[in-house]
Amino acid sequence: MRSTRTFLGRHAAAIALSGVLCGMGGVAGGCGSGDAVAEDPEVSTQPSEEPSALPRTSGLITLAAPAEGATVSDSFEASGKANSNEANVPWEVRDTTGETVLEGAATAEGWVDKLYPWKTTVDVSELEPGTYVFIARTDDTSDGEGKPSEEVGARITVE
């Protein structure tokens, strides 16, 4: 027969461990990792004017630039923080029909234990003037078998 003390001791250890993992940026999943992101002054937490717009923050990725509705020409810097597989942060630019017209990837400064800064320069000089959506995401190398990728984004206008 198992003693109550051993049974409760194991549960207390599990609860304590989950608290440590949550303190590491929520890598265990299900933790309130959004709290650490919301405190970052570089990340815009303002709601978009358009309700169907992508979020600027997620549990594993944030978008600091470009700003929602930014006007860009030639190229612009995209940046944020991420915890993505092997520090890979794929990005794309979609036109108003949802078709991907540009794509690439940035590299974050690290991965696994917290959100790390990433930035890249996006060359839009070959795009026609108009409205587009810039999207950055966490990398899912498991073909959908693991945790799905998370996306953040912003509408941009190319001059």
Where in the chain are the domains? 1-32, 34-158
The pLDDT tens digits for 35-78 are 333 334 444 434 334 434 689 999 999 999 999 999 999 999 99
CA distance 103 to 80: 17
Per-residue confidence (pLDDT) for residue 51, from 0 to 100: 39
Region 26-42: what's the mean pLDDT?
Answer: 39
The CATH number for 34-158, chosen from 2.60.40.2550, 1.10.287.70, 3.30.70.3040, 1.10.357.10, is: 2.60.40.2550
For residue 120, give the 3-state DSSP assignment: strand
CA distance 95 to 108: 26
CA distance 93 to 86: 22
121 has pLDDT over 60: yes
Cis amide leading into 117 (omega within 30): no
Residue 34 in contact with residue 46, Cβ under 8 Å?
Answer: no
Give buried/exposed letters for 102-124 (b at 16+ CB in 10 A, else e): beebbbbeebeeebbebbeebeb
pTM: 0.67
Residue 54, both tokens: 């992508």
The pLDDT tens digits for 89-112 are 999 999 999 999 999 999 999 999
Q: Which residue has the tokens 């999207």?
A: 135
Q: Could you give the percent of the chain with pLDDT greater than 90?
A: 60
Which of the four pLDDT bands, split at 50, 70 and 90, describes residue 11? very low
Residue 17, both tokens: 């461990």
124 has pLDDT over 60: yes
Region 78-91: what's the mean pLDDT?
Answer: 97
130 has pLDDT over 60: yes
Q: Which residue has the tokens 């949802």?
A: 98
